[in-house]
Amino acid sequence: MQNVRPLLVIFTLLSAPPLSAQAGEVYAGIGLPGLFAGYAHPVTEKVTLRADYATLGSRKKDGNEEGIDYQGHVKIARLGAFADYFPWANSGFRLTGGVTINQIQANLRSKFAAGTIQTVGNDTNVLILPGDRFNARIRFPRVTPFLGIGYGHQPVKTTGWSFHADLGVSIGRPKLDIDTNLVERGAISQDDVDEETRELRDGLAKVRVIPQLSLGVSWRF
């Protein structure tokens, strides 16, 4: 979205007085998108910059999409760079903006059994031969803007433990790619592929954001 900009553009870093003693902070937590760890550093009395890495690892799950049985392999990981803005003094509430670099994708491999009849696309019946495939790959954008709110990571001079929480979204739509040999061998038409692709894409059309909801602890030193 061209009209969406990370909140970094509204943080007036130079307008707030610098901290007389800046305390770095390491933090970790769990939630969506998984386990994460990072580092935060205050730059003014109202702004903290930070970066973290989060991952859910890889997961395998079988399922059925639009009449085709798939073996799914999902991988979720992301690296984030954020700026936290604290509008009120002595409060941990913050506005957060930034970017995430994502490795979020799902590979769906068709589970065709040779000798069976499979319906594809425009209700076309196909006799499955050894090596036949109709695979799908779903990928979220590599780089997405992030907007959110949260608590914690505020610029303070004290050391010790604290907690933090985040609620936000990375904004981006997934892309869908199809890999099949059925058109090449004349079993189906390109129209069948287009129809099957359209049905899969309709299921993804409502997905516009990658949510983040997480809790964790910090050590300030």
- The residues with which 74 forms a beta bridge, in sequence order, are 59, 106
Instruction: Answer whether 55's CB lies under 8 Å from 93's CB.
Output: no
pLDDT at residue 168 greater than cutoff 90: yes
Both structure tokens of 85 = 């803005």
d(Cα 14, Cα 216) in Å, to the nearest integer?
Answer: 30
- Which three-class secondary structure state does DSSP give residue 106? strand
Instruction: Answer whether 161's CB lies under 8 Å from 150's CB.
Output: no
Residue type, 196: E
Tens-place pLDDT, residues 190-217: 999 999 888 888 878 788 899 999 999 9
Q: What share of the chain is helix, strand, coil (3-state, %, to 5)?
A: 10, 55, 35
Both structure tokens of 187 = 């079993």
Tens-place pLDDT, residues 130-144: 999 999 999 999 999
Write down the mean pLDDT value for the chain: 88
Tens-place pLDDT, residues 18-45: 444 567 999 999 999 999 999 999 999 9
Tens-place pLDDT, residues 77-113: 999 999 999 999 889 999 999 999 999 999 999 999 9
Our measurement of the distance from residue 79's CA atom to the centroid of its chain's CA atoms, rounded to an integer in Å, reads: 10
- pTM of model > 0.85: no
d(Cα 91, Cα 154) in Å, to the nearest integer?
Answer: 8
